[in-house]
Structure 1
Amino acid sequence: MENRSASGTRIINAVFLAVVSLLAVAAIALPSARAAELSAADVCDREAGSIFDLQRNMVFPAVATEDIKIGVALSACREAYNQKSGARTEFQLARVLDKAGQKIQSQRILGEAAEHGHALAMTNYAVLVGEEGDTATEFALNQKAAAAGNILAAYNLGVSYRDGMGTSVNGELAIAWFERASLAGDDVAAFNLAVILDEGKLVAEDNAKAAKFYRLAADRGNVDAMVNLGLMLENGEGINKDIPAAREIFRKAANEGDAFAGQKLAALSVSDGFETAMLPKASRIK
């Protein structure tokens, strides 16, 4: 009886080990099987999707330029491109080619993606044609991209209307586009909007609103905005005069390496009652 029992136990153990082995093999094979299910376009999306691309495949996290693995990304995106997988794949292939140093081919395919309506491709391609002097085409491409919701294009339109690049100077439209980009989280757009309102050259001066957008940009870490907001707090321009608050924001800017902020901090730290003459607008950061 004991021998039979022992024999039976060995048989059960053998079956158990066999089942465990099969499960282990299945567990190893499963990721490979799942990986095999991804198309070339899926792998391209996974390896080369940009955080600035609202049209990217949101199933996969965005990939920073410095994190692109050129080997796998280039292979997948080339295959997807050859399979005519669409404008997003074209843009992503152009992105990988640029990272790989293949600039001419990257620009050609970026142009294809822009022509096929990819918003981020349009605003990136707009930069290239603008550098070649075609500001009218640059402006038109940014208009299309901004209409599709691209924030970089919205910012670029703000610059175009502010500086008259590819279009006539228009302060109101510059503010409108900078504000759209600002509300989407762009700190430089918020700063530029504030400067327009602060200077009062393109639109009527509005120091209160300027201070609001300087603060918005400063809260997002924009050092230039910190300096200008500090000056407004110091002098009570567009905002209640508040020397301790001015000192604190100058300190933040100085900690980021801004030399002028360091000088202002030193001056205001002499005493709480220390006051400086109002600096002219021209001394502010533009």
Structure 2
Amino acid sequence: MENQRKTGIRIFNALLLAIVSFLALAAIALPPARAAELSAVDICDREAGSIFDLQRNQAFPAVATEDMKIGIALSACREAYNQHAGARIEFQLARVLDKAGQKIQSLRILSEAAEHGHALAMTNYAVLVGEQGDIKTEFALNQKAAAAGNILAAYNLGVAYRDGMGTAANGKLAIEWFERATLAGDDIAAFNLAVILDEGKLVPEDNARAARFYRLAVERGNVDAMVNLGLMLETGEGVTKDSSAARAIFRKAAAEGDAFAERKFAELSGGSNFETAMLDKTSRIK
């Protein structure tokens, strides 16, 4: 009886070992099985989500245009599109088609995504219709996209109100929309806002405020803002006159390849000297 009990235990242990081994193998095989379970929508999101798209599936990192794998993305996005997966998928398919050189199909599907309320699709489609001369539709699309929180559309509205494109010129509204884009980190919007305040054509001139936005754009690496802020520092317009600071910022812009800044730096450095000559040499090495 004792021997039988021991045998029974050995058999039980053998069965337990087999079960554990099977579960271990199943666990090893699980990740590929889960990967294989991704839907066409998931794969399209993974392969074609844009960093500028606030409506993209945040479960996957954004994919730069140059990094898209056309074969995988196009197959998945087409399948998801055929499943009527919505405006986000329409936009992503249009994006992949454009990268693949299928411009006519891309434009058609982009218009669908815009019609169905996808903010980035509206912004991109607005640019295309504007290039075809329909600036009123361009303006209307940017209004809708900006209302949905798209920063590119906010910037485009700033340009529209500044230049009177598709609407009457309005300096106050141009500043408002440029400021929204600026708050989202756009250096060009900050620069354009500063220029409006600096020039005083659309709104009363406010050099002190202009200088603040120039500084913000400079912090974000905008070379044109460096030049304009350097001129303000040189003359004391809107800021305390500071030739040393002006010289430093002209030097920074010159190092980025700006020819005007290079001349201003040389001028404030007292003409030709060793430092100016070294700048002239290093600013051309890329």
Q: Distance in 2 between matches of 1:169 and 1:17?
A: 78
Q: What residue in structure 2 maps to residue 115 of structure 1?
A: 115
Q: Distance in 1 between matches of 2:89 and 2:248?
A: 48
Q: What residue in structure 1 maps to residue 46 of structure 2?
A: 46
Deviations 1:12-70 (A, max 9, x none): 9xx9899779746742x333211122111111111111111111111111111111111
Q: Distance in 1 between matches of 2:25 and 2:138?
A: 57
Q: What secondary structure does 1:88 align onto?
A: helix
Q: What residue in structure 2 maps to residue 154 of structure 1?
A: 154
1:141 equivalent in alignment to 2:141: yes
1:31 equivalent in alignment to 2:69: no
Q: Which amino acid counterpart does residue 263 of structure 1 have in structure 2?
A: R
Kindly report the root-mean-square deviation, in angstroms, between the aligned alpha carbons of the 2 structures.
Answer: 1.9
Unaligned runs of 5+ in 2: 1-12, 272-286
Q: Distance in 2 between matches of 1:32 and 1:75?
A: 20
Q: What residue in structure 1 maps to residue 127 of structure 2?
A: 127
Q: What secondary structure does 1:237 align onto?
A: coil
Q: Distance in 2 between matches of 1:148 and 1:232?
A: 37
Q: Distance in 1 between matches of 2:137 and 2:18?
A: 69
TM-score, with structure 1 as normaliser = 0.86
1:63 equivalent in alignment to 2:72: no
Q: Distance in 2 between matches of 1:236 and 1:164?
A: 32
Task: Map 1:1-286 onto structure 2 (within 5 A).
Answer: 23=24, 26-27=27-28, 29-270=29-270
Deviations 1:205-244 (A, max 9, x none): 0000110111111110110001001110111110111112
Q: Which amino acid counterpart does residue 203 of structure 2 have in structure 1?
A: V
Q: What residue in structure 2 maps to residue 277 of structure 1?
A: none
Q: What secondary structure does 1:239 align onto?
A: coil
Q: Distance in 1 between matches of 2:89 and 2:164?
A: 34
Deviations 1:180-223 (A, max 9, x none): 10111111111011111100011100000110111111110110
Q: Distance in 1 between matches of 2:34 and 2:266?
A: 61
Q: What secondary structure does 2:177 align onto?
A: helix
Q: What secondary structure does 1:209 align onto?
A: helix
Q: What residue in structure 1 maps to residue 279 of structure 2?
A: none
Deviations 1:113-167 (A, max 9, x none): 0000000000000001000000000000000000000000000000000111100
Q: 1:21 to 1:210 in 2, by over 3 A?
A: same
Q: What secondary structure does 2:218 align onto?
A: helix
Unaligned runs of 5+ in 1: 1-11, 272-286
Q: Which amino acid counterpart does residue 242 of structure 2 have in structure 1?
A: D
TM-score, with structure 2 as normaliser = 0.86
Q: CA deviation at 1:247?
A: 1.2
Q: What secondary structure does 1:93 align onto?
A: helix
Q: 1:133 to 1:21 in 2, by over 3 A?
A: same
Q: Which amino acid counterpart does residue 165 of structure 1 have in structure 2?
A: M
Alignment length, in residue pairs?
258
Q: Distance in 2 between matches of 1:102 and 1:58?
A: 27
Q: Distance in 2 between matches of 1:246 and 1:179?
A: 25
Q: Distance in 1 between matches of 2:77 and 2:209?
A: 46
